[in-house]
Structure 1
């Protein structure tokens, strides 16, 4: 039996090239079906930001014209907007926003550190967001990742039932228990 193709469902772009395939191809990481929160690193300005985008190319991402950026799509956490985050995440299609699931996210702080955060137990989006806000006082913003516990596949502390091939991964450089 042939294994399924490794698809990237959210925007996943590195230096203006989709992680898997080419722009406008299903599963490439160059497109997604609705506008969602996208974490962007712009190397020319040395800054992270979150923006809503549907297509992961330079014409829709607010980056410099030198193609030196990466972008990872997800759902906006809106860490600085306690009253509006829920509606925004819901409108962006946060899966089972009130249900208890394993959650994962990418966050960044004022020191330009990026954090891959995964839950060790099932929780609501609200509980996960609250825990992310509590990691440190200078956390700026972040996105929920849509991989749930698929983000935990290569971490020995976690188990997953996911078996689909992955085309995009976040490398953990310094794993710290929070």
Structure 2
């Protein structure tokens, strides 16, 4: 018993020393400069908003002028890319299956080539179009860039997806089914692109796993403005966002296309 009592101070000292070392290590980790994101410090041409719907769907939203949008190829997860923005349309492998056109040039190849971004593969689908000459936005249901109605073929962009029909509650489910919205009833992360009557564009990602209906309802509840309309984009592991305020990585999969903000590299 005497040996045990003599040993107790040494045990106490050892415990205190271990705690001190752990505390010092924690301080070093906290004060050590953290690696900056690839897009840190770029021109901030957007406003950020986070909102939660009544159904507990959390939306991360970047609001921008449509003139500041650059549709571009990615070929990797978004996080290493030096640009703000979100994921774009549907894809398979390295082929882009949604329209993604900037000034009459598909972002992933040449006009008429499969997987280039000139086509909405298989089905006519909702495509959000900014007509730069008229300054208007619309959702057009098209099969390819040939079908787009724009004022000036040298001054527009078009991003394919699936129609949300935010102005037509009675039509949206039938239209989404006709356009073959994948996994509409499953709990998935989701992305979308929405505009309002004030000419603002909203790039939207939710890390919440939800149905397409719950995501659409969250948009109706939380996106500011009237006369809103938009499209569903690719989702689940592809749902990714580069913002100064929030970095959402989905499942870190490579994506073929990005909806980026001007000023990136």
TM-score, with structure 1 as normaliser: 0.85
1:163 lines up with 2:250 in the alignment: no
Q: Report which stretch shifted further, 60-69 or 15-24.
A: 60-69
Based on CA coordinates, which of the two structures has the bigger radius of gyration? 2
Judging by fraction of residues, say which structure has more helix: 2
> 1-side partners of 2:127 and 2:138: how far apart?
8
1:14 lines up with 2:97 in the alignment: no
TM-aligned CA deviation for residue 66 of structure 1: 4.2
1:102 equivalent among 189, 196, 199: 189
The equivalent residue for 2:231 is: 143
Structure 1 residue matching 2:130: 3-state secondary structure: strand
TM-aligned CA deviation for residue 8 of structure 1: 1.9
**1:111-122 pair list within 5 angstroms:** 111-122=198-209
**Conserved? CA contact 1:44–1:66, under 8 Å:** no
**Conserved? CA contact 2:128–2:140, under 8 Å:** yes
Q: Which runs of 5+ in 1 are unaligned?
A: 174-178
> 2-side partners of 1:157 and 1:34: how far apart?
32
Q: Which runs of 5+ in 2 are unaligned?
A: 1-75, 77-91
1:72 lines up with 2:139 in the alignment: no
**Conserved? CA contact 2:239–2:249, under 8 Å:** no
Structure 2 residue matching 1:87: 3-state secondary structure: helix
CA RMSD of aligned residues (A): 2.1
> Larger RCO: Structure 1 or Structure 2 (Cα < 8 Å, ≥ 6 residues apart)?
2
Judging by fraction of residues, say which structure has more strand: 2
> 1-side partners of 2:172 and 2:102: how far apart?
27
